[in-house]
Chains A and B, each alone.
Chain A
Amino acid sequence: MGKIGRLNIEPIYTQIFYRRPTTMETGERMEIINEAEVGTIESGDAKVTVAPLGGEIVFELQSSVINQYGRQIRRVVMETLRGLGVTSGRVSVVDRGALDCAIKARVECAVFRSSGFDGRIPWGGEVK
C-alpha cells in the first residue's frame, strides 16, 4: 500500500491474490511461457504483465478503485484466464479505470504474446 508516482493524486493500493488451479482448468490450451506486457497506464486502460510461474496463478492488482472494483477486476482476469485454459503464471494488472472488456483484451493479448502463438486467433472460441 502506498503512493506510486509523483503525479498520482489518489492513493493506489496493491493487493496480491493467490489461486491454485482447479481440475476444471487443466489440460487446456494456452500457456504463459515468456514474460509479456500489454497496455498502458493511460486513463481508461490497464497495463497487464504476465510471467511464467509453476503450478499456480498469482494475481497482483494495482488500482485506485481497488476497494470498489478489485473483486470485479479479479473476476474478469480469472474468467479470461480460464477461457484461455491458463492454469499457472503471474498476472499483474495496473488498472487505470479500464472497462471489463478492456481488461479482458489486455489479458488475452498478454497470454497470446507470452505463449509465442503465431497463428490465426480463435476469435469467438477461446477468445470469447
Chain B
Amino acid sequence: MTDPKKRLRRTMLFLNAQRPGLMKDAYIYGADSVMFDLEDAVSENQKDAARFSLYNSLRTLDYGGAERIVRINGLDSPHWEEDVRATVAGGAEGIRIPKCERASDVKSVELAIDSAEREFGRDAGSTLLMAAIESPRGVLNALEICESSPRLFGVALSGGDYRSAMQTKYHPSGVEMLSARGNLLIAARASGVQCFDTVFTDLSDMEGFRAEVILDKEMGFDGKSIINPRQIPIVHEIYAPTEREIMEAERVARSLRENADEGVGVFLLDGKMLDAAFLRGAKRTLALAKASGLYDGEF
C-alpha cells in the first residue's frame, strides 16, 4: 500500500466549507486533493456554521478517492482547536495549518490532533498535516517546520501574505517569489516532504497560470493549490509525462530491478550511469503517468 504521506498531489482545490453547493460537487472536477477552507473564505460570524457543514460533508459525501484536507483557522484565532476536533471527528485525511512560522506551531496542532484522535476513536497518527508558509520568518524557518512532525507530509507556499510582507506584488516572471520558492523546495527535499506552490488568483489570465505551472514543474514542486476547477486540467496536462519520458522511466525502473536481482548496484544504460538514486524519479514519472491515464504497466 502506498504511503499516504507520499500520495500524488498535483492539485489541491480550495472549497469554502460554508457553501454546501460547492462542497457537494467537488468530486467531479478530478482534483487529487480537496481543501475545505474554514479560514479566510469563511467570515468570522459563520465559523460555527462552516464547521457543521464540514463535519456533515466529511461524514456523508463520497469524494471519489480525492484526499480531503481541511484548512483550519490560524493559531492566533479562538477557532482552531474546535476546527481540529470537527476535522478529526469527521475523518478527514489531513489538516493544513495556516501562517506557520516555526516548528512549535506544528507541534501545537499535533498535540490537539493527538487528543482528538483519542476522543473520537480514530487511529493514532492517521490524521496528516501540512504547513502553509506565508511569511519571511516562515520561509527562513522552513527546514525546522519540515522536520517538526512525523505527521507532516508537505509544506505549501502562500503567496498573498508573503508578497505583501516582502513589499512586492505578483510579477509574471515569478522573480518576486523566486527565493521563497527555492528555499521552501530545498527544505522540503532535504527533509523528504512534499512541496506545493501558491494559488494563482487571476482567473482571466489562463496563459499566465499555464506559465506559472510550467515554472512550478520545472522547479520541482509536487503540485499547486487551486482556486477554480478550470485550473485543474491545465496542471494535470503540464504534469503529465511525455511518451518518451514514460518509456525512459520504465526502462530505468526495469534495468534497476534486473541489475539489483543480480547484485549490481551501479551500471551503465545507453552510456549513462544509473544507480538506486534514479529509481525515485523513474517511479514518480510512472506514478504521474498512471494518474494521467497514460500508463498501466507493472511499475
Contact = CB atoms under 8 A, between A and B. Distances in A.
Given A123-B120, A124-B120, A102 B20 contact: yes
Nearest to B21: A44
B284 to A, nearest CB: 36
Interface in A1-60: 38-40, 42-45
Which of A45, A109, A123 neighbours the largest number of chain B CB atoms within 10 Å of its CB? Answer: A123
Given A108-B52, A121-B85, A123-B89, A45 B19 contact: yes
Interface in B1-57: 19-22, 24-25, 48-49, 51-53, 55-57
A113 interface: yes
B118 interface: no
Contacts of B120: 123-124
A104 B56 CA distance: 8
Given A102-B24, A104-B56, A39 B49 contact: yes
Interface residues of A, number: 26
Contacts of B82: 120-121
Contacts of B48: 109, 112-113
Most B C-beta atoms less than 10 A away, residue of A39, A42, A45, A105: A105
Given A45-B20, A99-B20, A102-B24, A124 B49 contact: no
B68 to A, nearest CB: 14
Contacts of A97: 21
Nearest to A113: B48
- Report the contact-size class of chain B (Cβ under 8 Å from the partner): 20 to 34
A104 B60 CA distance: 11
B230 interface: no
A39 B52 CA distance: 11
A105 B50 CA distance: 9
Contacts of A108: 52, 56
Nearest to A122: B89
Contact of B20 (A44, A113, A124): A44
A40 to B, nearest CB: 8
> Most chain-A CB neighbours within 10 Å: which of B89, B90, B120?
B89
B61 interface: yes
B55 A105 contact: yes
Contacts, number: 73
Contacts of B55: 105, 123, 127
Interface centre among A43, A101, A121 (most CB of B within 10 A): A101
A110 to B, nearest CB: 9
B89 A101 contact: no
Given A108-B52, A123-B85, A42 B57 contact: no
Nearest to B61: A101
Contacts of A40: 19
Contact of B53 (A42, A102, A121): A102
Report which residue of B21, B24, B82, B90 has the largest number of chain A beta carbons within 10 angstroms of its beta carbon. Answer: B21
Given A43-B21, A109-B48, 6 more contacts: A44-B20, A102-B57, A105-B20, A121-B52, A121-B85, A123-B89
Interface of B: 19-22, 24-25, 48-49, 51-53, 55-57, 59-61, 82, 85-86, 89-90, 120
13 contacts: A38-B52, A42-B19, A44-B19, A44-B24, A99-B60, A101-B56, A101-B61, A102-B56, A105-B56, A108-B52, A112-B48, A123-B86, A127-B52
